[in-house]
Structure 1
Amino acid sequence: MTLSPLRRRALARPSWAEAQTIRAALRTETVGGGLLLGAALLALIWANSPWRESYAALRDLKVGVDWGRLRLSLGHWAADGLLAVFFFVAGLELKRELLVGDLRDPAKAAVPVVAANCGVVIPVLVYIGVVVLGGGDAVAIGGWAIPAATDIAFALAVLAVLGSHLPSALRAFLLTLAVVDDLIAIVIIAAFYTADFQIWPLLLALVPIAAFGALAQRRMTYAVALVPLAALAWALVHASGVHATVAGVLLALTVPVKPRASVPALSKHSRTSDIAHRMEHRLRPLSAGVAVPVFAFFAAGVTVVGGGLGGALRDPITYGVIAGLVAGKFIGVLAGTYVTARFTRADLDESLAWIDVCAVALLTGIGFTVSLLVGELAFGAGHERDDHVKVGVLAGSLLAALLAGVLLRRRNAHYREVEKRETADEDGDGTPDLYQQA
C-alpha cells in the first residue's frame, strides 16, 4: 500500500548520525545492565544469607557532615548522590534529542512523547485500582508513581542481547521513550515526593548552576572547576528538601549541545567541540557502570526469608506494582503509539510490524532503578512496605523482561536478513547505501 505524502512515519528509521549514537548508547548500557543485574543479585543473596545483618549494617552506615542534611547512610548516598550522575546523563541525552537529534522534528517527537505519557498514566491507574480493590489504605495509594518509570539500562541491555537484529527505528523509539519517561519521573519526584521544602537553599542553588552553565557555554570542561560547582548545587538542592537527583537534570540543561563556530573560549579546539557529547561520553560509563549498579546493590537487598515474602504476598502494594509494570506499561505504551498512528498523520514505518511495538511495550515494564527510588521516597528506606515494593519491582521487572524476551527472540530471527541489507555499503564510503537514498 502506497502512503500519501502527507503521512509521516510513526517509528521511522533514524538518521545515520542518530543511528550511530543509538548504537554507542546500546553498547554502554548493555554492559551497565549486566553490572546492574549482578549487583542486584548479589544484594538479594547477601540480604537472605546468614550474614544478612552485615548487609543491613553496611547499607545503614551513616557518613558525612551534619550541615545541610549531609549525614546520610550509604544507601541514601547511593540514591541521592550517585543517581544524580545518572540523571545528569539522562538530561544531556534529552536535551540533545530535542535540539539536535531526531526529536527536533515535532512529527517524530510526538509518537514517543505520547507513548511515554500514556506509559506513565495507565500504570498509575492500574496501581491505584489494584491497591483499592485489595483493601489498601491511603498510605499505600501514596506509592502510585512506583510503576511509572522504565529502567533505561535494564531495558536496553535486554534489547541489545535478545534483539541484536531489530530495526534501528525500534531501538531509537525505546531509547527516546525511556528518556522522556525519565523526565516525567523527575518531575513527579520533584513535585510529589518532596518533604520539608525550603525555598532559600533552592534559590541559592541557582548560583552554582548558573556558574556551571556559564563555564559550559565557554566550552571550559575542566573538572577542577565544574565538579565543585556541581557538588555545591547538589548539596543546596538536597538541603532544600527537593530530591537531589533533580540537580543533575538542572545542571545538564545548562550544557550546550550544538557546536559553535565562534564562542569565547580558551582554544580553537574548545570553540568547535560538542561539549555535551564529550560530557556524555565521559560520564555514561560512570553512570551505567558505577552509579546505577551501586544504587541497585543498596536498593535491591530485600529479605524474603523468615516471613518477609509472606508479608509481601499479603500486601496489595506488591500486586499493584507488578500489575502496573507488566500490564499498565504494556497497555499504555501500545495504546499511545496506536492512537498517535491512527488519528494523526503518522504511520508505522514500513520496516516494522505492530508485534515489534508490542515487544518494546512489554520491555518498558522493566522499572528497576527509578521504581525502587520512588518506593523509598514513598514509604521510607527500610520500611516494611518498602520491602514489599522491592519484591513487586523485582517480580514485575523480571516478568516483563521474560515476556518481552519471548517476542524479541522470535522477531530477531525475522530481521536478520533485513539488517544485512540495511548495512550494505557497496560503494565503500563508510555510510550504508540505504541512508544515502532520498
Structure 2
Amino acid sequence: MAEQRHRVVVVGAGFGGLFATKALRNAPVDITLINSTSHHLFQPLLYQVATGILSEGEIAPPIREVLKRQKNVSVLLGTVTAIDAEARTVAVAAPGITYTVGYDTLIVAAGASQSYFGNDNFAEHAPGMKSIDDALELRGRIFGAFELAELETDPAAIERWLTFVVVGAGPTGVEMAGQIAELAHRHLPGQYRNINPRQARIILIDALPTVLSTFGNHLSTQALRQLHRLGVEVELGTKVVDVDETGIEVETNGGRRRIESMTKMWAAGVAAPALARQIAEATGAKTDRAGRIEVNPDCTVPGHPEIFAVGDMMALDQLPGVAQVAIQSGRHAAGQIKRRLAGEPAGQPFEYHDKGSLATISRFHAVASVGRLHFAGLLGWLLWLVVHLLYLVGFKNRVTAVMHWFVSFIGRGRSERVATFQQVYARRAMREYQHKLP
C-alpha cells in the first residue's frame, strides 16, 4: 500500500491562498483548496467593475483554470464553518451539502470582510466592496441612479438620485469617487435628455483628517487636489452615524446633519471573517481588535505549528491588509512546509518586503509610494498600470483589460454598463441564503 502523502488544506483562493498553493507546485504534498466561490478575485480592481470599466470575468478567473496544470491540487467549493484542531479536520458547507476534510497542515487565507464598526444594518443601504456580488450591485445602483433621475420631475428627487456618497477615503474610496466623477462629468453627458449628469454630486467622507492617510502628507495632498479638480466634494473629520434608504446622517465638530442620497457606498474599515474567531476558539489563540489571529513570527498559530494564518487573517507586526502581505506570507507558509518535509530547520520569521502603495485617482493620474520614492500624476498612473497588469492572472485577462482601459481612458465609453434588477436587489436573497448555512 502506497504511503499517504502530506495533506495540505488551503482555505481561501485570494492572493494568500493562491500564491501558497502555487508555491507548493513541486512539493510532495496533496493540496485541497477550499473557497467559497469558484473564482480567484483580483480585489484591487473591483471598483472598475462597479463603474463599468471592466467585466467581472477579467478580474475573477476560474480557480480551476488558473491551477489546471498543477496536478497535486484539488479545488472544492464551500465555506469552512468549523475547525477541529485536535482531529485536524475542517467542516465545510456548500449549497445543499456539508462535508469534512482532514489535513496535516492547514493554511488559512480567508481574507477580510467589510466592517461597519458595529452598524451592520448600514450594509443594506451602503454596500461594501469585497466581492463580485458587491461590485455588480453597486454597478446596478450607480447606473440605475442616472436612469431613475431621468424619469423624475421633482428637482429634489433628481438631486437625491444624482448625489453619490462614498464612505472611506482610503485607496478603494478614493478610486471609487474618482471614477464616479469621471463617469458623471466625462462619459455620460449628452446621453440623457431631462438631466445633466454633470450636475451629479460625488461626496467622499472620512472620519480621519486626510485622504490616503497611509501614503504620507505629500501624496495625500496631491490626491486631494486631484479629487477637487474632478469635482469631488471631500468631507474629512466627518463621522457617519446613520444610513437609510434615502440618505446618510453625519456628525462633525459643527454638529449633526443629513445628506440626501439614494446611492451610498461603504469603503471604510475591514475586519477578519468569522472563521478567524472560530480558529481562535478552537486553538486558544488571541485575536486583535479587528478579529485577526495573533500569530507567531513564522505565521503559525501559537501552540499549533500545523496551522498557518496568512494575509488579512493574521495580526503580525502591524502589517497592513494589502495584497503584497498576503502574497508574501502565503509563499512564506509554503516555504516552511517544504523545509519541514525536507527535514530542514523551520520556524524562520516572516519578513515583509514593502513594494509600495498605489492608488489611481482618475485617468492618467495616480499616486504611488515606493520606498523613498513618491510619484503623482501621469508617472504614478503608468506605474499603477504596469503593476496591475503584472498581477492580473491570465494572459487573456491582461489583453482584454488593456482593451477596456483604452476604451475608457482614451475614449469616452464604458464597456460594461449592463445593470439588472437582479444585481441591485440580490443582496436580500443572498442574506437569506447565508442565514440557512449551518
TM-score of the superposition, structure 1-length normalised? 0.23
Q: With CA pairs under 8 Å and 6+ residues apart, which has the higher RCO, 1 or 2?
A: 1
Taking structure 2 as the reference length, what is the TM-score of the superposition? 0.23
Greater percentage in strand = 2
Name the structure where helix makes up a greater proportion of residues. Answer: 1
